[in-house]
Structure formats: structure tokens, C-alpha cells
Structure 1
């Protein structure tokens, strides 16, 4: 009896417990299903809203800005230009013809009222002109020196300045960079007496204002000495592949040309420095040397004109 009773009691409790567990599981599953259904509905709603926002909006009506057509008298402007500069007896000579847009650096439409040429046409013409100059004079000026060039320059400087064996003047200038990018201004701003960043330019110019060497210094604080040390001017001479030079002064044979420089340059054998306080015996030499050093200053003036 006890055994049967206990067995029945255990069996009843087990059934009752299973019933309560099944009911709890059903309620938890139903709750999760409802949450998933709500989340799914919410996701669907958000996706529909996103798709609606991505749909193209109706275009906003804007007024059409049409290009203004300016009537220009091209025939009359051509006749006026021909009579001013290209006729047999022009109104203005060659000196006035050279002093134009390239020299002054004026805007593209500077001569619109005179030549009746628009800005785009002017820019295209200037570009073609520069390309033509490069193609015509590249083999004459945009190249390295040859032995014949060195000989001609030594003869020319000997006859013009009284310095046989002279190859030119070396000097540096600060080239103002008005359109320097903002991120680079700190690298090119120095204590020079201009408000814009500058790049230091080293050139060698002769009496004819032929600049046959030009070198812009590297980023950083630069002066004539720093630029000279990084310049490739004497690379070929250091490797022994430079042009052969030979001239005679006071019955002495020399095999190396020289350059006129200012006082800041080092004492190299290829440099003839300025005499700051010449004595009586050296005054004549200092005066001739100062006159010869004006060649590079004139070249800088042409570049900045």
C-alpha cells in the first residue's frame, strides 16, 4: 500500500510538474515570437522609410545661364594691329612690340578692347607661342655648354670686360611665390623682405643675358652657400667629364674657367670674388669686376620685368 501510494504520489507530482513546465515554455516562446514579430515589423518599416528617402526628389527649377555672346570686330582689330606693328611703316617700333603680355604678366583679357580677342582665345595663343619658342630655341639655349660655347664666352667676356677665361656670373635671388599652397608656406617662408613665400634661384648668366644654368634651392632655410652646395653646376667637372677649357693669361696656360661671384661664396679656384675695400693697386680691377657682375643683375631684371 505504501509502495503503491508512494508510487502514485510520485507519478502525480511528476505529471503535475511536467504540466507546469510545458505551460511556462509555451508562454516564454510566445513572448519571444511576439518580440521577433515586432522587431521584424520595425525593421521593415525603417527599410521602407529609407527606400522612400532614396527615391529621386523632383528637380528644382533653376534659371538657365546662357553664355553671353559679345560681338567683336575681328577684321577691324586685325587691320589696326597690322598698321600698328606689322606694316612697312608701323606706328610703333620693335621696342613697343616686345613689351606686351608676356613681359608685363597682365590678365588674359587685358587687350580685349584693342584686339577684340576673348580670354580663352588669348590663353590658347599664348600657349602656342610659348610652345613655338621652346621648339625653335631649344637646341640653341635650353642645353648644356659645349667646348665651343665655353670658348666663345671666354673670348666675349675678355673683349667686353677684360676678363679672359670668364664663363659668367653666379648669383642667387629670392623668387616670390604668390600662389604657394598653404600646406607648403611654412617650408618656403624666410626672413626675406617680402610678405609671400619665396624660392631661391641660382643662375649663371653671360654678357648676352644667356642664362645657361638655373637651379632652384631645396626646401628649407637657404642662402647662396646652401644652394651652391646642392647645385649640380659642378657635377660634370667633379666627375671629369666637363668640356675641355684652355686659355692663356700673362703667358700662363690655364685649363679651368672661372666665374665672378660675390663675397659670401667660398674661396674656390673657379671663383673670383668681389674686393670689398680695394687698395690703390686693386681699384681698377674692382671697378671692372663690379661692371662685369652687372650681367647677372640685368638678367634678374629681365626675369622680373
Structure 2
């Protein structure tokens, strides 16, 4: 889920899904590194929030188990593999603009023994759409808000769906939060100030984040059959992946807010991100994963 690489290359969920637009602030020549970091973040998001993604899929009001599914903005495959687990007779067409993300997805599909059920498609969904067949279910997690014209995208999803097909649109408010309010000790409230700065950055660059998709789905010819928000609050003790998830998320945030943070906040953030610092994020035992996912289930009418 989630929680986002080029504007059509997410899961959000993560994706991306989340705050992923910070990638565009990397200096020229670091795009590959930025995309690799984004892929790592998407993988960690999928690992840490696997239970939440599974619960969203289980909630979907599918009339019958779909056999043809499309994952729009699939990233590295969090939604793709969760959908395959839920619907063992289905095949998924996984669409993303990032060749690197699709390579990871192919490798995972091979390692999990489901390569024959996954069909990766490289495409920029703001341009000409590939032939997606007539899927019974389309899943889009943390990708719609990245589209240049999301209302056009919604109409294209409706046109692609089989009659009576279901569209699952999952969105998230941004990066998760991890630190206690009084952390770090030398700059309490640092994480919230980083999110506020990133919000200003996104308001300009990603204007559709946080949209109410219900009316827009109706305008595109869907009937919204359900809306649900999952609130995530995963406290300690937690698996080691949570520390890496926090580290990678805060690195992404830093890329988007470095130019606007107070110098002392930036220095404190860099100490948190220092993997050798005894007080760095990887060594904290008080992290809590706090985020939300909202899903709209919309039927083609």
C-alpha cells in the first residue's frame, strides 16, 4: 500500500505508496539510488503492513473470486502478491512505470513460485494505456493521487473493467510516523515538523493527495459500495524490519524537506539517520508505526 518513484509507480500502498515524491529532490545523477531506496521502502512497507493489506483485500465486496486482476502502480508488488494469496485461481497484470520495480516484482514472483500468474507491464498511465483485457478487479494503492489527471484515469479504469467489475482504490495520508512526541531528546517534536514541511512540499507538487475519492468515483460512472479506513498503531516490541522501515522512510522525508528545515532540526534528523550513532533510529526500542489506509470499493455500473 500504501504509502510512492515516478508518479505512476507505486503501491502506496506505498506507495506509494508515501511521500515518495521526495525522490524528485535528489540531485541529478542520483536517480538510480533514489529509485533503489524507493524500492526498498516499498518492500519494507509490504513486510511491516502485510496484515493490514490482507485485511483490506478480505473486506472487498467481490461478487465471486476474480480470475483476472490488474494492479495499477504496482511498485514492487505488495498488492500483487497479497491479491494472489487471497485469490489462488487469479492472475495479476502488474503495471508500473519503473523498470527497476518491475524487475524486483519478477524476481519475487519467481522465488515464490507464482511467475506464471504474474504479468508485469511497464507503462506510464498518464500516457497511452496498455491493453489490460477486461479484469474483474482493478487494485490501485497509493497511485491515483500521482496521476496528472486522476479523473481521466478513473474513467479509463471504468472502461477497462469487465461489466460489474470492482475497483479497489486505496490511499494514504503520507509517510507513517514512528517516534514518540518528545523525541529526540535534543529536538522534541522533530518528526511532526518534518511532516509539516513535507506537507507544504506535497501541497504544491501532489495536489490530489488527500482527495475525497467517493464523489470522483461516482462522476466517473462507478457506484461506491463501501469505504473503510484502517488505523495502524504497531507498538513495540516489533520485528527488526520496523527499524529499517523507519530509517528508510525518514531518509525519504529528508530528501523532500532538507531545504526548508531549521538547521538544528536537520542536524538532529541526520543524527537519527546515522546508522553508527548510538541514539540513531535503528537503535531505538520505542518506535511505533502509526499510519492510515482508506479504501473505496467501487462497482462498474
Identify whether the pair has TM-score above 0.5, normalized to the shorter chain.
Answer: no
Give the TM-score range, shorter chain. Answer: under 0.3
Larger radius of gyration: 1
Please state which structure has a larger fraction of its residues in helix.
1
TM, length-normalised to structure 2:
0.20
Structure with higher RCO (Cα < 8 A, 6+ apart) = 2
